[in-house]
Amino acid sequence: MSSINFNANATAALQTLRDVSSKLNTTQNAVSSGLKVGSAKDNVAYWSISTSMKSDNKALGAATDALGVGAAKVDTAYAAMDSAIDVVNEIKAKLVTASESSVDKDQVNLEVKKLQEQLSAIGQAASFNGENWMVTATKTTVVDGFIRKDDGTVKINTANFEAASYAMFSTIAGGVGSGGILSAVMTIALTSAATQGKIDGFLTTVETALKSLTKGAAALGALSTRIDLQQKFAGKISDAMDAGISRLVDANMEEESARLSALQTQQQLAVQSLSIANSSSQSILSLFR
């Protein structure tokens, strides 16, 4: 039966066209954005997971940047301590030279004083962004990671350096360092009347300072290694998170391309089907001629 009030064939064709057009729009959005899950309505679970992972990855990137700052601090402190070791070794050599009875100890003392001034200069220059680990009395830290715990809470990991134990000086006033592991070295002063026993005492002081400087440099070296390893690890974790996010929300472009071609064909056929269905109404007019 044909009716001029309702065309069942045209209605069915129209519903098909609407369904195909909706799917085609979704596929076109996926192709243009590269995402199969672009918003929460596309897939609530995947969208929620990917959003959290993106946030964590961004925080991990910030932690990696902070690691770079920490590495610069460690490198600055290590360079200062390594240079200080060289200078203290020079002082040691001067003291050995002063042990020779024919050497003018006053002249040697002038050289020692210049080397002590150099130590103060090294300590004062060992500053990065206003922070000087070689002239401090507090424990210092560097950010070395960001983690999300099982309960969903987040935590910033830090690595510590006991600057109070390894600082070359506790203070530098008027360009002269005092306190710290080089405190006794800065008091060394030779005179022409200095006995061998006095010089031996100075040598003991220098050896003690060298041991402390060596321990400090070793601690900085270990911290630098940890930072390097953490930077590499953070890079791998970030790549893994990017890959995980991609698997959840990125569109498979090969599949989307094939689907787009199929849907475009279906749309053309649906339009043709609707046109045929509508033409039947026009045929009714011929019955009344």
Mean pLDDT, rounded, for 124-149? 80
Secondary structure letter of residue 254 according to DSSP: H
Quick one: pLDDT band at residue 25, thresholds 50, 70, 90?
confident
For residue 143, give the nearest of 155, 151, 133, 154 by alpha carbon: 155
Q: For residues 177 and 200, what is the distance between their CA atoms, to the nearest angstrom? A: 23
Distance CA(111)–CA(176), nearest Å, equals 16
The mean per-residue pLDDT over the stretch 231-250 comes to 86
pLDDT score recorded for residue 261: 85
In a domain, 86, yes or no: yes
Residue 33 lies in a domain: no
Domain assignment of residue 289, yes or no: no
Q: Distance between CA atoms of 37 and 45, rounded to whole angstroms?
A: 10
Q: pLDDT exceeding 90 applies to what percent of the chain?
A: 31
Position 141 in a domain: yes
DSSP conformational letter for 94: H
288 located within any domain: no
pLDDT of 107 over the 80 cut: yes
Predicted confidence at residue 287, as pLDDT, reads 62
CATH of the domain at 268: 1.20.1330.10
The torsion defined by the Cα of 218, 223, 229 and 232, in degrees rounded to 10, comes to -130
Three-state secondary structure call for residue 219: helix
Output the pLDDT for position 3: 61
254 lies in which domain range?
A: 40-272
Q: In a 3-state reduction of DSSP, which class is residue 156?
A: strand
| Per-residue pLDDT at 217 | 93
pLDDT at 152 over 80: no
Q: Looking at the whole model, is its pTM more than 0.85?
A: no
> Confidence band (pLDDT; 50, 70, 90) for 94?
very high
CB half-sphere exposure, 52, CA atoms < 13 A: 11
In this predicted structure, the answer to whether residue 67 has a pLDDT above a threshold of 80 is yes
Give the span between the Cα atoms of 115 and 90, in whole angstroms: 8
Number of folded domains in the chain?
1
Assigned domain for 10 exists: no
Contact in structure between 48 and 40 (CB atoms under 8 Å): yes
The residues near 242 (Cβ < 8 Å, ≥ 6 apart) are 57
Query: Residue 17 falls within a domain, yes or no?
Result: no
Please report whether residue 277 resides in a domain.
no
Of the candidates 86, 67, 84, which has an alpha carbon nearest to the alpha carbon of residue 224? 67
| For residue 264, pLDDT beyond 90 | no
**Burial (CB count within 10 angstroms: exposed 0-12, middle 13-18, buried 19+), residue 140:** buried
Question: Does the pLDDT at position 121 exceed 90?
Answer: yes
Contact 177, 120 (CB under 8 A): yes
